[in-house]
Amino acid sequence: MTDPRLDLRIEEGIARLTIRRAEKLNALDAEMVAALPALCARIECSPARVVILTGAGGRAFCAGGDIAAWSALTPEDFGRFWLRGGHDAFDALARLRQPLIAVLNGACLGGGLELAACADYRLAEAHVRIGLPEAGLGIIPGWSGTQRAVRRFGAGIVRRMALFGEVFGAEEALRLGLVDQVVPQGGGMAAAEALAAQVIARAPRATELCKMLINAAEGEERERVLETLAGIVAAGSDDLREGLAAFREKRPARFDSPGE
């Protein structure tokens, strides 16, 4: 599944994913949400070493979920498709093997903040506004705004946004740990590309493993990380080579004891 409003370009080791719906402040509708996992699969299989995520237009990174896309849904469809689909999409982003840099170049509200929470590094341009306004509409932050956002930003900060409606500017967001760096308006992409160059200069295997281990420590994907790491060790072992050779030659495998 593809959507022209999600523009993915991969070159020189960088995957650039841009939300191109500036006329709607880069709000996500159902088709865009459904297209994100396939784009993440493309990134995973690509030679990209780092990912930059941003929104087009300069007014908004992402204003969240398009109200028109979900407000007419039945409660059952809202839960089954809108919320579960958003979790699938955002989980795929958060669990990319490559480091993910989000360039917050404008409003970052509701689902937009939940999207930014998927990133490993958040660059905020000086004019950003960050918050979780959902309760003011009678709904909840449903794309892990009370879960992943709490793990990454802390419960106290999420309470201030989700329960009391606080909206933070760039400098306050930096002080609170919602973002990692503040740059002048219009300077986000250049700063992100400089960060991407730093990632590319580092050892790719070690960087990928570090991200996996950090995710596991944070509770992002502990079971999958453990099995992946164990599988990597097993796949590089003499035991596997002997087991496959025995299978092909139709003979019993002869495994050496450890240390022999």
Catalytic residues: 114, 134
Return the half-sphere exposure (C-beta side, CA atoms, 13 A cut-off) of residue 190.
Answer: 6
Could you give phi then psi for residue 125, rounded to 5 degrees?
-75, 155
Cα 121 to chain centroid distance, Å, stands at 10
Cα 193 to chain centroid distance, Å, stands at 17
CB 91 within 8 A of CB 38: no
The crossing angle, in degrees rounded to 10, of helices 222-235 and 204-218 is 140
Strand order of the β-sheet with 60-62 is 60-62, 107-109, 129-131, 167-169
Q: Which of these, 63, 165, 40, lies nearest to 113 by C-alpha position?
A: 63
